[in-house]
């Protein structure tokens, strides 16, 4: 039976971790980060309830912000780490295209007292009939927080918790691994991670899956800035959907009033 999680130590050097952390903290002073607990669509949207992302106070860089401000991290995601995992799993694994999946590469900053992540499974909307992996790379952790993985075997439930070490990477099945981060952060504690998604066929997604991914991205913004990440095809699809909704409303309006009209 394949292990639920693979741990790779010293994937990047401690000095590189420190340099990246300093760059992230500096950038946070000049660039607005996304905080899911302040985004109304993330906090109250039922589609995210099972993941509990909306309860987190973590701050996030993703999409264009990562491309603009952290080219080294993007390069690691697209090239070095993808090649490394392909060799380890003996399967070609690729980074997801960030123009379509901006949440496939995230920088996660946990520094608010009381923050934690409860049991959840990840949900990046690529097809599930392939190998899809989550890779969590730790840059800093001066807290007591651990990564816990829940594995299911016949008539047995096993929870494995492990320390999160800077420079180490934790890799597991994206869709089928329940995991959480505990305990809650205490005052002056922090943890900084890079979360990445890899797939065998990164461009494989149904229309429904593709639109679900776009909705999730828009929910992270919860403002007009979300329109900036829409491609011309996305905008065309949204216009078509809007026109269809208008036509349906007009049809219902006509039907309703015709049924209410009194014959002369």
The domain locations on the chain are 5-206
4 pLDDT tier (thresholds 50, 70, 90):
confident
Contact present, 148 and 182 (Cβ < 8 Å): yes
Tens digits of residue pLDDT in 44-81: 444 444 445 546 788 888 888 898 899 999 999 999 99
3-state secondary structure of 51: coil
Whether the pLDDT of residue 181 is over 60: the answer is yes
Contact present, 179 and 150 (Cβ < 8 Å): yes
Residue 214 and residue 89: Cα distance in Å, rounded?
29
Contact present, 14 and 20 (Cβ < 8 Å): no
3-state secondary structure of 227: helix
Largest Cα span, the chain: 86
pLDDT of residue 18: 96
What pTM was estimated for this model as a whole?
0.78
Q: What's the Rg (C-alpha) of the chain? A: 21
Conformation bin of residue 189: beta by default, left when phi > 0, alpha when psi is -120 to 50: beta
Contact present, 105 and 98 (Cβ < 8 Å): yes
To the question of domain 5-206 being in CATH 3.50.50.60, the answer is no
């Amino acid at each position: 039976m394949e292990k639920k999680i693979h741990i790779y130590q010293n994937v990047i050097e401690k000095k590189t971790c420190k340099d990246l952390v300093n760059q992230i903290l500096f950038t946070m002073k000049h660039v607005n980060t996304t905080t899911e607990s302040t985004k109304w669509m993330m906090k109250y949207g039922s589609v995210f309830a099972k993941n509990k992302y909306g309860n987190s106070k973590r701050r996030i860089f993703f999409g264009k912000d990562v491309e603009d401000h952290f080219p080294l991290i993007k390069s690691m995601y697209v090239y070095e780490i993808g090649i490394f995992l392909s060799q380890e799993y003996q399967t070609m694994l690729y980074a997801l295209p960030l123009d379509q999946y901006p949440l496939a590469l995230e920088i996660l900053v946990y520094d608010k007292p009381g923050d934690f992540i409860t049991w959840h499974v990840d949900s990046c909307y690529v097809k599930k009939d392939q190998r899809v992996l989550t890779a969590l790379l730790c840059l800093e952790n001066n807290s007591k927080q651990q990564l816990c993985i829940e594995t299911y075997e016949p008539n047995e439930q096993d929870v494995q918790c492990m320390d999160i070490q800077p420079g180490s990477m934790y890799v597991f099945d994206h869709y089928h691994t329940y995991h959480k981060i505990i305990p809650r952060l205490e005052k002056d504690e922090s943890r900084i991670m890079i979360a990445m998604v890899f797939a065998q066929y990164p461009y494989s997604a149904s229309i429904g899956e593709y639109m679900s991914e776009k909705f999730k991205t828009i929910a992270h913004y919860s403002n007009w800035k979300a329109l900036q990440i829409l491609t011309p095809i996305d905008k065309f699809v949204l216009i078509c959907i809007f026109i269809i909704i208008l036509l349906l409303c007009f049809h219902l309006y006509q039907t309703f009033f015709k049924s209410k009209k009194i014959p002369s």
